[in-house]
């Protein structure tokens, strides 16, 4: 039995989870149109890999990026690529992007990926390759490409943590998966542990999710070689954040600016685990995910298994449609989610919840704020041990460098500080703004550096050509002065020759103008 | 009399010591021009009044130019320079141009006559083409400096704003005024 | 030993040159926007103060007084201080050109810092010995550095805050300096004279 530690800060929040766990996960039938955004993880456009009109199978790569870290964008089902449209992206900016319109043909024909039942005989590279081909990304919300995550650790991973600690209120998709398919999760965990050669594998979930704990324990007991340990963590928000979970379970802290792999640990979400199992054992590419549809604004809150590309409108309709209490549509939970203004948005890898909130259901993010009274409550709850107060002052007064000194980049945007602030200051929004500003500034400096190098190269080129010209001119001048310029002689010869030729052509006089001797 | 003598000797002695130490320490100022130049946007557009970013950086380091003369850098650059040099931030000097959103040039191929004047004008070689052949702008390298616009005889170059994508989206800051 | 410690602490805190005797206010207001530059300025002033305090004592004791030229001390001290400041400038240029650039005009202005001349003259007035002059100069300089760094820290926070329009800039800084001065007067009871 592992002894658990407490990570710094955090909040005790009302879960509001029962509302969506009353029914088992329902499979949603395919929509008439699936919209697959051609957007890479860094926000840049991906290019389409096939012409419009192509027929694709489930798992065919239809979009790709220039970045090797970016996974291929796969078709979620078989059908025809009807068109490319501008469609709203599931992104807080509300911007639209190039999107494939896929019309399913109902056959759901997959690409041929052989089932690798004996995965323990395969190399790590082969398994990572399969994960890449199946288009697997993290399903916990950040959508990080899983193959890249497994490829990157240079140090050995000693501990693999399967993250089932779903700490944000309202979200229950992981809990539902653990209740219904714990076997899949465990199989995926074994595959991942084998791949990473991890010495320890743990599955973590919150200690108040009794049904899930029961299901996973039963599944664990069924396996003969029980190398996975179940860990029950206290339900404190945000224990599901990987750095907080690592601290709780192992007592180790991920260094500032670092990743868990730096200290020999890797975390993967239970949903990702199940996807790995399907990909390796059944040869199934990642094509769908479980989404929690919840809130007072939807008639039948539940968990649904949705194909990627399904518009939100269809998902909500499948769950009974809107109630009259609906006021806000949030992608994600009440703490870290972002609200959207339309339901014509496709489900992508990063959408784990649709929270259709009623008017007083969640904390009002738009409420007017008062001046900061420097009470320090925000620093007391920050799970990353930052000083939100100081970061706030510096981001607000546009002193980003100072904010970086206070580790602005380490902020996980969990929203804990927002909840406790007595002045209702939207701190997390300030930090998001600061972080994007920082990213753009760094990008700007990189571009400036590139421009500077090109400019200097151009100067070198121009100087070189000036020098060449001057040298050539000098050479010609000296040759002229010396009088022994064969080129000029040749030119004169050529000119003479040409003139002679021309005269010969003109010389023959037409017969009638000849001397009248031949009448 | 004694006073004058003593004072003269004392002062000469001190001055001598100073000259010696000056020589020994061999003052060669490491220029901070590099640090200043690395903060400038490198558009080489000349709007600051200097022929390029490095001359402007040199002028700033010699305190001949103010730090708010770079429109492509915008307020961000003024703040960075103020931070580096310990000066106060001041708003952009409108006399040198207004800050514009990021833009790139675009050649209308219908009207281009292939004269290469714009190619010669571009400070970062972001235009490819040759005499009497089509010219086109390498969007990824274009800094939006506008130096190609005046030379074009058929006025076929337009400036387009860089579209907002999730990649360059800036999360909005909440309303700054409280209560 | 106790006397020496007394001089050091006394000059640093109780009779702080900047906040109690109100000398050297120019660099306090001019250079204290950022903590790094304030520290740099403080160190430069420490160097200058200590060195010129000692040199002035030596010049006074071994040249001016024996030749009954005591009345020249003001002029001579000024020149000594100017030489030391020039020397400091040379060292600063060599070791940290960025700091040199950032301090700008305030580095040579240490010459006119009344705190520096004040210490030199006060040494004569209090009839300090060599060690006492050294400690007095050091204590004054450390006190100056302490205040300027503290003030820079406060000013950084003020810069980030919402200051009402009439108070922006030097107004709020001077008010803050006044409050800081009040705080330092609380040290009065530290040393029982």
Residues A263 and A409 reside in one and the same domain: no
| Cross-chain residue pair C157–A396, CB shorter than 8 Å | no
User: What mean pLDDT is predicted for residues A31-48?
Assistant: 89
User: Would A488 be classed as within a structural domain?
Assistant: no
| Cross-chain residue pair A42–B167, CB shorter than 8 Å | yes
Residues B120 and B89 reside in one and the same domain: no
| Residue range(s) defining the domain that contains residue B158 | 101-164
Residue B153 to chain A, least CA–CA distance (Å): 23
**Count of the separate structural domains present in chain A:** 2
- Which residue did the predictor score with more confidence, A270 or B175? A270
Task: Report pLDDT for A25.
Answer: 94
Q: In the predicted model, is pLDDT for residue B38 greater than 50?
A: yes
Task: Report pLDDT for B179.
Answer: 35
- Name the band, by pLDDT with cuts 50, 70 and 90, for residue A286: very high
- Name the band, by pLDDT with cuts 50, 70 and 90, for residue B177: very low
CA-based nearest residue in chain B for residue C37: B86
This model of the complex carries an ipTM of 0.80
User: Would B176 be classed as within a structural domain?
Assistant: no
- Please count the other Cβ atoms lying within 10 Å of the Cβ belonging to residue A96: 17
Give residue-wise pLDDT tens across range A191-214.
Answer: 999 989 888 999 999 999 999 999
Sequence-distant (≥ 6) Cβ neighbours of residue A223 within 8 angstroms: A186
Among A398, A433, A447, beta carbon nearest to B79: A398
Q: In the predicted model, is pLDDT for residue B176 greater than 60?
A: no
Residues A60 and A173 reside in one and the same domain: yes
User: What mean pLDDT is predicted for residues B47-68?
Assistant: 86
- Name the band, by pLDDT with cuts 50, 70 and 90, for residue A484: low
**Count of the separate structural domains present in chain C:** 1
- Name the band, by pLDDT with cuts 50, 70 and 90, for residue A513: low
Residues A389 and A312 reside in one and the same domain: no
Q: In the predicted model, is pLDDT for residue A518 greater than 50?
A: no
Q: Where a domain ends, among A340, A356, A388? A: A340
First to last CA, chain A: 132
CA A278: distance to chain centroid?
21
Q: What's the mean per-residue pLDDT of chain B? A: 84
List CB contacts (< 8 A) between C65 and chain B. none
CATH number of the domain encompassing residue B127? 3.30.70.20
Residues B69 and B118 reside in one and the same domain: no
Percent of chain C with pLDDT over 70: 98
- Environment class of A67 (CB within 10 Å of its CB; exposed 0-12, middle 13-18, buried 19+): middle
| Residue range(s) defining the domain that contains residue A58 | 18-340
Q: What is this structure's pTM?
A: 0.83
Chain A with chain B: Cβ pairs closer than 8 A:
104
Residues B108 and B141 reside in one and the same domain: yes
Residues A390 and A266 reside in one and the same domain: no
Residues A335 and A285 reside in one and the same domain: yes
Residues A248 and A182 reside in one and the same domain: yes
For chain C, which chains pass the contact test of at least 3 CB pairs under 8 Å? A, B
Chain B with chain C: Cβ pairs closer than 8 A:
57
Task: Report pLDDT for A187.
Answer: 93
Residues A64 and A190 reside in one and the same domain: yes
Q: Where a domain ends, among A433, A449, A480? A: A433
List CB contacts (< 8 A) between A44 and chain B. 165, 167
- Which residue did the predictor score with more confidence, C1 or A287? A287
**Count of the separate structural domains present in chain B:** 2
| Residue range(s) defining the domain that contains residue C40 | 2-190
| Cross-chain residue pair C80–B27, CB shorter than 8 Å | no
List CB contacts (< 8 A) between A451 and chain B. 41-44, 124, 141, 143
CATH number of the domain encompassing residue B68? 1.10.15.40
Task: Report pLDDT for B178.
Answer: 46
| Cross-chain residue pair A399–C159, CB shorter than 8 Å | yes
User: Would B17 be classed as within a structural domain?
Assistant: no
- Whether residue B83 lies within 8 A of chain A, CB to CB, comes out as yes
Give residue-wise pLDDT tens across range C81-114.
Answer: 999 998 888 888 888 777 787 777 788 888 888 8
SS (H, E, C) chain C: CHHHHHHHHHHHHHCCCCCCCCCCHHHHHHHCCCHHHHHHHHHHHHHHHHHHHHHHHHHHHHHHCCCCCHHHHHHHHHHHHHHHHHHHHHHHHHHCHHHHHHHHHHCHHHHHCHHHHHHHHHHHHCCCCHHHHHHHHHHHHHHHHHHHHHHHHHHHHHHHCCCCHHHCCHHHHHHHHHHHHHHHHHHHHHCCC
User: What mean pLDDT is predicted for residues A86-92?
Assistant: 93
User: Would A388 be classed as within a structural domain?
Assistant: yes
- Please count the other Cβ atoms lying within 10 Å of the Cβ belonging to residue C46: 18
Residues B38 and B67 reside in one and the same domain: yes
User: What mean pLDDT is predicted for residues C136-155?
Assistant: 91
Percent of chain B with pLDDT over 90: 17
Which residues of B sit within 8 Å Cβ distance of C? 2-3, 6-7, 10-11, 14-15, 17-18, 21-22, 25-27, 29-32, 35, 61, 63, 84-86, 88, 178
Task: Report pLDDT for A519.
Answer: 44
Which tokens belong to B13?
């002695």
Q: What's the mean per-residue pLDDT of chain A? A: 90
CA-based nearest residue in chain B for residue C79: B11
Q: Where a domain ends, among A388, A403, A433? A: A433
Q: Where a domain ends, among B52, B67, B96? A: B96
For chain A, which chains pass the contact test of at least 3 CB pairs under 8 Å? B, C
| Cross-chain residue pair A454–B166, CB shorter than 8 Å | no
List CB contacts (< 8 A) between C168 and chain A. none
Give residue-wise pLDDT tens across range B137-157.
Answer: 998 889 888 889 999 999 999
Task: Report pLDDT for C26.
Answer: 82
CATH number of the domain encompassing residue A198? 3.40.50.11540
User: Would A217 be classed as within a structural domain?
Assistant: yes
Residues A262 and A186 reside in one and the same domain: yes
Q: In the predicted model, is pLDDT for residue A126 greater than 80?
A: yes
């Amino acid at each position: 039995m592992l002894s658990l530690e407490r990570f710094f800060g955090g909040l005790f929040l009302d879960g509001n989870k029962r509302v969506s766990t009353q029914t088992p996960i329902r499979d949603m039938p395919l929509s008439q149109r699936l919209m697959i955004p051609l957007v890479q993880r860094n926000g840049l456009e991906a290019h389409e890999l096939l012409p419009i009109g192509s027929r694709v199978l489930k798992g065919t790569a239809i979009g790709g990026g220039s970045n090797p870290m970016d996974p291929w964008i796969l078709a979620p089902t078989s059908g025809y690529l009807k068109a490319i449209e501008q469609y709203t992206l599931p992104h807080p900016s509300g911007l639209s992007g190039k999107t494939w319109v896929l019309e399913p043909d109902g056959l759901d024909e997959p690409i041929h990926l052989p089932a690798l039942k004996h995965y323990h005989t395969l190399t790590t590279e082969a398994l990572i390759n399969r994960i890449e081909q199946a288009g697997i990304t993290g399903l916990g919300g950040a959508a990080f490409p899983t193959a890249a995550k497994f490829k990157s650790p240079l140090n050995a991973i000693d501990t693999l943590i399967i993250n089932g600690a779903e700490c944000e209120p309202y979200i229950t998709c992981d809990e539902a998966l653990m209740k219904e398919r714990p076997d899949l999760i465990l199989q995926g965990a074994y595959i991942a542990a084998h791949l990473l050669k991890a010495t320890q594998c743990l599955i973590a979930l919150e200690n108040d999710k009794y049904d899930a704990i029961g299901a996973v324990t039963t599944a664990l007991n069924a396996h003969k070689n029980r190398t996975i340990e179940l860990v029950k963590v206290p339900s404190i928000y945000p224990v599901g954040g990987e750095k907080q979970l690592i601290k709780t379970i192992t007592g180790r802290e991920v260094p500032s600016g670092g990743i868990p792999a730096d200290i020999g640990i890797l975390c993967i979400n239970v949903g990702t685990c199940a996807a790995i199992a399907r990909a390796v054992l059944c040869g199934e590419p990642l094509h769908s995910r479980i989404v929690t549809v919840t809130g007072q604004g939807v008639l039948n809150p539940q968990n649904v298994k949705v194909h990627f590309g399904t518009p939100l409108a269809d998902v909500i309709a499948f769950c009974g449609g809107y109630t009259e209490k609906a006021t806000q549509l949030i992608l994600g939970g009440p703490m870290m989610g972002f609200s959207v203004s339309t339901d014509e948005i496709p489900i992508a890898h990063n959408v784990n919840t649709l929270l259709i909130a009623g008017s007083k259901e969640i904390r009002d993010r738009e409420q007017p704020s008062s001046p900061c009274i420097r009470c320090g409550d925000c620093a007391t709850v920050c799970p990353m041990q930052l000083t939100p107060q100081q970061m706030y002052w510096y981001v607000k007064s546009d002193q980003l460098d100072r904010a970086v000194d206070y580790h602005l980049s380490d902020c996980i945007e969990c929203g804990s500080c927002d909840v406790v602030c007595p002045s209702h200051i939207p701190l997390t929004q300030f930090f998001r703004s600061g972080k994007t500003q920082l990213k753009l500034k760094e990008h700007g400096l990189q571009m400036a550096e590139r421009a500077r190098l090109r400019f200097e190269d151009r100067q070198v080129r121009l100087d070189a050509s000036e020098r060449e010209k001057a040298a050539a001119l000098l050479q010609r001048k000296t040759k002229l002065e010396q009088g022994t310029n064969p080129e000029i002689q040749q030119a004169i010869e050529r000119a003479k020759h040409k003139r002679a030729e021309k005269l010969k052509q003109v010389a023959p006089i037409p017969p009638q103008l000849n001397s009248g001797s031949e009448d | 009399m004694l006073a004058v003598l003593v004072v003269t000797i004392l002062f000469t002695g001190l001055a001598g010591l100073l000259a010696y130490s000056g020589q020994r320490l061999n003052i060669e100022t490491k220029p901070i021009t590099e640090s200043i130049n690395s903060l400038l946007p490198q558009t080489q557009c000349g709007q600051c009044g200097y022929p390029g970013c490095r001359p402007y950086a040199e002028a700033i380091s010699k305190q001949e130019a103010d730090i708010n003369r770079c429109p492509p850098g915008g307020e961000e650059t003024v703040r960075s320079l103020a931070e580096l040099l310990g000066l106060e931030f001041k708003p952009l000097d409108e006399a040198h141009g207004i800050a514009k959103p990021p833009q790139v040039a675009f050649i209308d191929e219908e009207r281009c006559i292939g004269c290469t004047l714009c190619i010669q004008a571009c400070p970062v070689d972001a235009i490819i083409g040759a005499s009497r052949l089509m010219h086109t702008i390498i969007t990824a390298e274009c800094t939006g400096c506008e130096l190609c616009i005046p030379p074009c005889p058929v006025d076929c170059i337009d400036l387009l704003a860089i579209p907002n994508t999730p990649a360059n989206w800036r999360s909005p800051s909440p309303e700054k005024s409280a209560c | 030993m106790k006397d020496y410690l007394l001089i050091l602490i006394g000059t640093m805190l109780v009779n702080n040159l900047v906040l109690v005797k109100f000398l050297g206010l120019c660099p306090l207001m001019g250079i204290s926007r950022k903590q790094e530059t304030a520290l740099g300025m403080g160190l430069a002033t420490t160097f200058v103060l200590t060195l010129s305090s000692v040199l002035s004592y030596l010049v006074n004791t071994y040249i001016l007084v024996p030749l009954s030229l005591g009345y020249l001390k003001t002029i001579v001290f000024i020149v000594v201080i100017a030489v030391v400041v020039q020397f400091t400038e040379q060292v600063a240029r060599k070791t940290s050109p960025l700091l040199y650039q950032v301090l700008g005009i305030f580095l040579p202005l240490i010459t006119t810092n009344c705190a520096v001349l004040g210490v030199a003259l006060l040494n004569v007035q209090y009839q300090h010995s060599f060690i006492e002059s050294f400690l007095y100069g050091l204590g004054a300089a450390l006190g100056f550095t302490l205040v300027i760094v503290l003030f820079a820290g406060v000013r950084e926070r003020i810069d980030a805050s919402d200051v009402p329009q009439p108070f922006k800039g030097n107004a709020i800084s001077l008010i803050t300096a006044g409050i800081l001065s009040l705080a330092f007067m609380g040290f009065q009871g530290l040393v029982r004279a």
